[in-house]
C-alpha cells in the first residue's frame, strides 16, 4: 500500500467526531471565514486520517500555491492534456481549470489523443458544449505547439496520454498536475496536487472553487453547465456517490447550488450502443470466476468501442460472490495502425488497491513505464502488441494471436489471485 507521507508539521484532519462538530458550524457561504476559523482551530491539530478534507491547512496552502502559479503565467497559453480516453471526471475538471485560468488571463485548450467512446461522455460533451478537442497523434505535426508556454495534466499524470512525449520533446514544460490516481512515477511540474485518497478530481477542483479561485455564477450558462459536468464527473468516479466520502458529499453539496438537474439527467439517459451490448455479452460468456475474481477476455474490438471494456467490468462486478472484475480485449487503432491489449478492473473490495494490483500483475516496459495503474476501486491497463501489431490476413492467425494474449493476461492475473496454486497451463 502506498501511504501518503505525513510530515511532522502537516496538519491533518481530525477524527470523525471532531469533523462533525466543525461541519455543524459551516455557515451559509462556507468559504473564507470557515477556512480562516479552521486554520486557527486547535481541534485541527490532531492525528492522521486516511484522507484530507477541504479544511486541512495543507490544502489551503495548495490553493495559495496554485494561485501564485496562475498569477505567474498571466497572459500565457496552456494546453490541458487529458488521458487518451477521457472520462467525465477528467473532462469536467479540465473545464473547471480552464475557467479558473481564464480569470488569470491564461487561455487553455483541452485536448486528448484517443477517443471519446462512452455514450455518456459523448452526450456530456455535446449537451454542455464542453470545449474539448481531439488531437490525434498523427495530426500533431500540423499543430502550433510553440503557441503554448506550458501544459497541464488533469485526472492523469501523463502516463495515459500519447501526447506527453511529444510535448516534452517540443520543450513545453509541465506547469500543473492535478490528479487522484496513485503516483505513476516522478513528476516534475511547478504545481502538483495528487491526492490518491480523494475519490474524484472533480472534488479537488470543486474545493478550489470553494476556496475562491473562481466564484460560480448562477446566471452564467457556462458556469451552470460546468457545475453540471462536475457533478457528473464526481458521481461517475464515486459510483453514483455510493462510494463517496465526506469531502465528495461536501463538494456535491456545493455544486448542487449551481448545477442543472435536468441537464444531468439527459446526460445519464444516453443509451448503450449495440457494440457495447455485444462486448458485455461476450464478457459474460467468457468470464472465469476464481477466488471472487471474475476475469473475462472479449477478443478484438474497434477502437471506438474501447469504452465497452470498463462498462463490461462494471457489469461483471455486480455478480454474487464476485468482488473484483477484470475485462480485457485487443483494440485496433486505425490512425496509428497499432494494436493494444486494453483492460479494466473494478473492485468492491476495500483492501484491494487496483494500482498496486495492476502494477504487480503486469509490471512495466523497458522504459520503466507501468502497463497499468489505478485509483481507488478502479484501474486500467494498456499493453502494446508491438511487433505482433496489425490486422492479420487470416482469421486463424488472428485467433492464434488472441489465444496467446488471452492466455498471458490470465496467467499473470491468476498468479496473483491464486498465489498458492502454481498456475500452469490449461485456460478453460
Does residue 333 interact with Mn ion by CB under 5 A?
no
With CB under 5 A as the contact rule, the residue among 89, 120, 247, 339 that binds Mn ion is 89
What's the CA dihedral at 406, 388, 185, 138 to 10 degrees?
Answer: -130
d(CA 243, CA 199): 8
List beta partners, residue 288. 295
- Candidates 4-12, 102-110, 150-158, 379-387: pick the segment binding Mn ion (CB under 5 A): 150-158
In the complex, least distance from residue 386 CB atom to Mn ion, rounded to whole angstroms: 29
Least distance from C-beta 62 to Mn ion, angstroms?
A: 18
Task: Find, among 194, 159, 155, 197, the residue nearest to 13 by Cα.
Answer: 197
Percent helix, strand, coil in the chain, to 5, is: 45, 20, 40
Minimum CB distance to Mn ion, residue 89 (Å): 3
Asked if 109 interacts with Mn ion (CB under 5 A), we say no
Q: Is 155 in the site for Mn ion (CB under 5 A)?
A: yes
Identify which of residues 192 and 338 has a Cβ nearer to Mn ion in the complex. Answer: 192
Least separation in angstroms between CB 226 and Mn ion:
16
Q: Is 237 in the site for Mn ion (CB under 5 A)?
A: yes
Q: Which cell goes with 164?
A: 506527453
Rounded to an integer, what distance in angstroms lies between the CA atom of residue 247 and that of residue 211?
14
Measured from the CB atom, the residue of 230 and 352 that comes closer to Mn ion is 230
Instruction: Please state the closest distance from residue 49 (CB atom) to Mn ion, in A.
Output: 21
| CB of 323 vs Mn ion, minimal distance in Å | 21
Between 121 and 294, CB nearer to Mn ion: 121
User: Nearest approach, Cβ of 68 to Mn ion (angstroms)?
Assistant: 25
- Measured from the CB atom, the residue of 98 and 412 that comes closer to Mn ion is 98
Query: Does the protein bind Mn ion through residue 84 (CB under 5 A)?
Result: no
Give the containing element (helix H, strand E) for 345: strand 338-347
Number of residues that bind Mn ion (CB under 5 A): 4
Name the DSSP class of 305: G
- Mark residues 26-65: x for contact with Mn ion by CB under 5 A, - for none: ----------------------------------------
What is the β-pairing status of strands 372-375 and 378-384?
A: antiparallel
Q: Is 389 exposed, middle or buried (0-12, 13-18, 19+ CB in 10 A)?
A: middle
Residue nearest to Mn ion (CB): 89
In the complex, minimum distance from the CB of residue 371 to Mn ion, in angstroms, rounded to a whole number: 19
Its sign, for the CA torsion 25, 31, 32, 36, is positive
- Which of these segments, 29-37, 48-56, 194-202, 285-293, binds Mn ion (CB under 5 A)? 194-202
Q: What element of type H or E holds 21?
A: helix 16-23
179 makes contact with Mn ion (CB under 5 A)? no
Q: How far is the C-alpha of 186 from the C-alpha of 118, rounded, in Å?
A: 30
Using the minimum distance from each CB to Mn ion, give the nearer residue, 89 or 109.
89
* Number of neighbouring beta carbons within 10 Å of residue 81: 29
Q: What gap in Å lies between CA 80 and CA 70, rounded to an integer?
A: 14
Complex with Mn ion: residue 59 or 294, whichever CB lies closer: 59
Alpha-carbon distance of 162 to 135, in angstroms, equals 10
Q: How far is the CB of 233 from Mn ion (least distance, A)?
A: 7
Stretch that binds Mn ion, among 24-32, 195-203, 222-230, 382-390 (CB under 5 A): 195-203
Contact 153, 81 (CB under 8 A): yes
Our CB check for Mn ion shows the closer of 156 and 324 to be 156
Shortest Å, Cβ 199 to Mn ion: 8
Q: At 125, phi and psi to the nearest 5?
A: -65, -40
Rounded Cα distance between 8 and 2, Å, is 18
Footprint of Mn ion (CB under 5 A): 89, 155, 201, 237
Amino acid at each position: 500500500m502506498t501511504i501518503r507521507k505525513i510530515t511532522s508539521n502537516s496538519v491533518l484532519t481530525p477524527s470523525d467526531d471532531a469533523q462533525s462538530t466543525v461541519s455543524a458550524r459551516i455557515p451559509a457561504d462556507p468559504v473564507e471565514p470557515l477556512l480562516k476559523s479552521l486554520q486557527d482551530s486547535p481541534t485541527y491539530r490532531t492525528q492522521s486520517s486516511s484522507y484530507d478534507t477541504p479544511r486541512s491547512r495543507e490544502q489551503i496552502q495548495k490553493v495559495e500555491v496554485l494561485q501564485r502559479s496562475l498569477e505567474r503565467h498571466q497572459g500565457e497559453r496552456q494546453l490541458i492534456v487529458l488521458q487518451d480516453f477521457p472520462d467525465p471526471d477528467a473532462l469536467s475538471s479540465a473545464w473547471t481549470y480552464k475557467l479558473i485560468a481564464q480569470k488569470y488571463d491564461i487561455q487553455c485548450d483541452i485536448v486528448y489523443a484517443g477517443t471519446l467512446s462512452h455514450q455518456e461522455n459523448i452526450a456530456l460533451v455535446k449537451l454542455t458544449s464542453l470545449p474539448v478537442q481531439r488531437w490525434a497523434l498523427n495530426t500533431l505535426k500540423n499543430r502550433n505547439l510553440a503557441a503554448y508556454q506550458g501544459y497541464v495534466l488533469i485526472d492523469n499524470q501523463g502516463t495515459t496520454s500519447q501526447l506527453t512525449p511529444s510535448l516534452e520533446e517540443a520543450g513545453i514544460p509541465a506547469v500543473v498536475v492535478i490528479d487522484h490516481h496513485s503516483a505513476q512515477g516522478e513528476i516534475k511540474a511547478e504545481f502538483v496536487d495528487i491526492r490518491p485518497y480523494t475519490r474524484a478530481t472533480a472534488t479537488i477542483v470543486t474545493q478550489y472553487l470553494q476556496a475562491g479561485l473562481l466564484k460560480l455564477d448562477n446566471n452564467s450558462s457556462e458556469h451552470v453547465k460546468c457545475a453540471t459536468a462536475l457533478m457528473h464527473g464526481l458521481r461517475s468516479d464515486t459510483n453514483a456517490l455510493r462510494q463517496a466520502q465526506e469531502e465528495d458529499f461536501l463538494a456535491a453539496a456545493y455544486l448542487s447550488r449551481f448545477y442543472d438537474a435536468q441537464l444531468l439527467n439527459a446526460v445519464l439517459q444516453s443509451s448503450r450502443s449495440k457494440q457495447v451490448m455485444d462486448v458485455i455479452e461476450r464478457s459474460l460468456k467468457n468470464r472465469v470466476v476464481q477466488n471472487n475474481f471474475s476475469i473475462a477476455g472479449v477478443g478484438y474490438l474497434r477502437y471506438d468501442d474501447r469504452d465497452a471494456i470498463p462498462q463490461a467490468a462494471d457489469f461483471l462486478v455486480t455478480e454474487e460472490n464476485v468482488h473484483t472484475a477484470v475485462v480485457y480485449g485487443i483494440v485496433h487503432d486505425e490512425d496509428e495502425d497499432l494494436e493494444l491489449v486494453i483492460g479494466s478492473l473494478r473492485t468492491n473490495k476495500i483492501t484491494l488497491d487496483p494500482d498496486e494490483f495492476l502494477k504487480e500483475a503486469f509490471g512495466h516496459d523497458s522504459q520503466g513505464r507501468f502497463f497499468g495503474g489505478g485509483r481507488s476501486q478502479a484501474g486500467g491497463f494498456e499493453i502494446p502488441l508491438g511487433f505482433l501489431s496489425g490486422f492479420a490476413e487470416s482469421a486463424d492467425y488472428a485467433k492464434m494471436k488472441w489465444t496467446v494474449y488471452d492466455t498471458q493476461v490470465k496467467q499473470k492475473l491468476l498468479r496473483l489471485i491464486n498465489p498458492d496454486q502454481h498456475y500452469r497451463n490449461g485456460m478453460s
